[in-house]
Chain A
Amino acid sequence: MLRYVLRRIVLTVPVIAGILLISFLLTHVSGDPTDLILPPDTPDEARALFREKHGLDRPIWVQFYVFSLHALQGDFGNSLRFHEPAVKLVTDRLGATTELAMAAMALAIAVGIPAGVVAAYRRNTAADVAIRAVSLFGQAVPSFYLGIVAILVFAVWLGWLPSGGRGTLAHLALPAITLALGLVALIARTTRSCMLDVLNQDYVRTARAKGLGEAPVVWVHALRNAFIPVLTVIGLQVGFLLGGVVVTETVFSWPGVGRLAVQAIYARDFPVVQAVVFFFALIFVIVNLIVDLLYAVLDPRIGYR
């Protein structure tokens, strides 16, 4: 078990290094931050000083070498726009993003799993059709559109919730729901199809035969066995969540990492882009490692060597 964890962690290193290399190349070949940060009529001498100060005048492979050397020590350099270390800009905003992502994930699990179970148990009834229809809608509507509609309805027309910003639970409600909706749909659909498989299994019939009530049969025996694929989906959807916060944070003025990432990409603020990519990749890898370890908890037949 420990060996397995260690091996997985070691394997993480080349994955993250590869991701950093790709994002480094993509941002560096697609535009020059000097053009985006300084006004277009800046004289050449001032531009040259700016480029020299930030090391942009060096060949790209030298820049990558210097970047890698510092990155190994946890230093991604100073932001080109904020004059602050890129890592600090990210870590300062990580709390806000975590709050939003966790709220969305909790909401998605709390709604998605029961909905999936109900849909499977009462398959082909009105409840099942309704849940499937809502799921389809949830997955099909883009979150930026959903977010704007939510603002218009709940903030402008009804006046129940603020239109953006962070602070109270009321501020969290709209962005969390917007971010959760796509996930709810996916979790509900996955739960439904796994439950359908499980409900026909022999051990479910045995449980009923030995006189257990319907509720323990469905919610304990069946759900526990249906849960592994659902857990896999949840783990993989952390990537979806991290992508989703980029849009949701912008629409709801949420002071998180996603919004920082958008602005950094538009300005080709290389150090910040790299730091965001690094943290997002790390979170994704760690969450999926945890998910893999949870399999063994849920299903004792699974072991790790």
Chain B
Amino acid sequence: MIRSLRSVALAAIVSAAAIGSAPAETLVVAQNFDPQTLWPNGTTASDNLNAGSAIVEALFWVDPDGEEFKPLLAESYELEDNTTVLVRLRPGVRFTNGEPMDADAVVHSFNVFIDPAKTPAYARVSDPFQSVEKVDDLTVRMRLKYPFPPIRLALSQLYIVPPGYWNEVGLEAYGQRPIGTGPFMFDSWARDDRLEMVVNPDYWGTLPEGIDRIVWRPVPDDISRAAGLTTGEYHIAANLAVASALDVERQDGLKLVAVPSYRIYQVILSSLPEHASPLLDKRVRQALNHAVDKQAIIDNLLFGYGVPLRGQVLREPQLGFNPDLEDYAYDPDRARALLAEAGHPDGFEITFKFPSGRYAQDREVSEAVAGMLAEVGVRTNMVVLEPGEFLRQLRAKELQPMAFVGLAPQDDPDLQVSQYHSSWRYAYLNNPELDALIDAGKQEMDVEKRAQIYRDAMTLMYDEAPIIFLYGGVDFFGTSARVENFHARGDGRFFFYDVALR
């Protein structure tokens, strides 16, 4: 009774804000897993972040609609020099427990963020930060250890927590019952069953229209998640399998949101001398690229939902994408000729490792690649790996000489290309020329010069062919047709800022 009275009151507030809209109601979201923590800096898993960031907000965000970098709790930032960042905060924002969102809260959150013992999953982007100082109540100055071109990426991942409440309950309890500045507030959580949030009536920004409550349901099975969307039990179902996605697309009353993911699928072709194999010869690596019909894989195994790579690991809108490159054409004759030239007129035998159950269609795609390689005489010994063992081997540089992987670094050319630097933990190549370009890009703060460096790196990687360039993945979200303006990002993230339920 009390709860329903409260929702009526909240609904009144929300509809007052959005004149003419229907009474607000509960939005139900099905993801794969229950969050482990609702503190967004606790993990990088999207299931956790999607739920957590409805409550706890960052300084900036990257809007999935157009991938634009926008202010959130900050109003703006400016680079005073290459290693000093001045951040101006939004005035008049309070946490839902009444604490002010000000420079003190940012300084506190910053110091938690840069401590790798507390935020190990963010160590890669928090490492460049050295220290922070309060300039006045609404301004902070951050100092970097070295110039860090992906500074925007880092600023969009620094989540602001209320220092008083944090110090009172501690990191772990905070993640179980967070307090933030966001459009929603924590209400209740039955683990592995339902997590409930209510709208924050004092929210500083514009609230999503028609929603007074969000219920998060963990539904691990792909087919069950799609079934619950069809029956109307969920308004949003994340991470659909391709077969369910095709189904959702056909149904009235449902919408399919297909998002090009940041995940780049490729076949590692190790050219490290300690991994002796015919792949040490560049012509062999190029031959394998000519031997695989990538479009056929996209059309037949992925039902058209894959993005051709254009012979590089950067995506079309990304800084450094090289529009002059085209992928290796599917040409088995050319492949055979290159193999013969490299001294393998009859092909050769090679080990090919792949995971089963780690990525969408991983086994099917790997088997298709193996079949195409057999056409040009490359006979593969297929080794299937359980996902946990697969990741261990990836980092231990044991996925050699050949392996199918889908790498999804964060959205910056440096974080993408660094994976091919010889010093990288799972780099299966050692090319000093490429290393030099990556090192240069890492420090170049000038955007145009930086783009040119990565375009050059892409040209070099294309020629060296350290991988078989396969395709970019696509993520699927299904929503009720009543959900408007729902967008998701290539890293599986979605927000409620402009969403409406009508």
Contact = CB atoms under 8 A, between A and B. Distances in A.
Interface of A: 30-32, 35-47, 49-50, 53, 81-84, 89, 92-93, 96, 148, 151-152, 155-156, 159, 162-166, 250-253, 255-256, 259-260, 262-263, 266-268
A30 B388 contact: yes
Contacts of A49: 116-117, 120
Interface residues of B, number: 48
Contact of A39 (B36, B117, B121, B172): B121
B86 interface: no
Interface stretch (B190-198, B203-211, B280-288, B297-305): B190-198
A31 B389 contact: yes
A40 B407 contact: yes
Contacts, number: 136
B146 to A, nearest CB: 14
A46 B120 contact: yes
B392 A40 contact: no
A255 B191 contact: yes
B224 A164 contact: yes
Contacts of B425: 40, 44
Given A44-B425, A164-B219, A250-B221, A38 B120 contact: yes
A165 B217 contact: yes
Given A30-B386, A253-B220, A255-B192, A155 B227 contact: yes
B394 interface: yes
Interface in B139-181: 171-172, 175
Given A41-B415, A163-B228, A166-B193, A50 B120 contact: yes
B38 to A, nearest CB: 12
B426 interface: yes
A259 B192 contact: yes
A252 B120 contact: no
Given A31-B389, A35-B392, A41-B124, A163 B224 contact: yes
B224 A151 contact: yes
Nearest to B220: A250
A150 to B, nearest CB: 10
Given A164-B221, A165-B194, A253-B224, 8 more contacts: A35-B392, A39-B121, A40-B391, A93-B192, A148-B224, A162-B228, A165-B217, A255-B191
A36 B388 contact: yes
Given A35-B395, A93-B192, A253 B388 contact: no
Nearest to A78: B172
B114 to A, nearest CB: 11
A47 B124 CA distance: 11
A83 B224 contact: no
Q: Which of A40, A42, A151 has the most CB of B within 10 A?
A: A40
Contacts of B190: 255
Contact of A31 (B191, B192, B217, B391): B391
B332 interface: no
Q: Which of A35, A83, A165, A253 has the most CB of B within 10 A?
A: A253
6 contacts: A30-B388, A35-B394, A43-B123, A151-B224, A165-B217, A251-B223
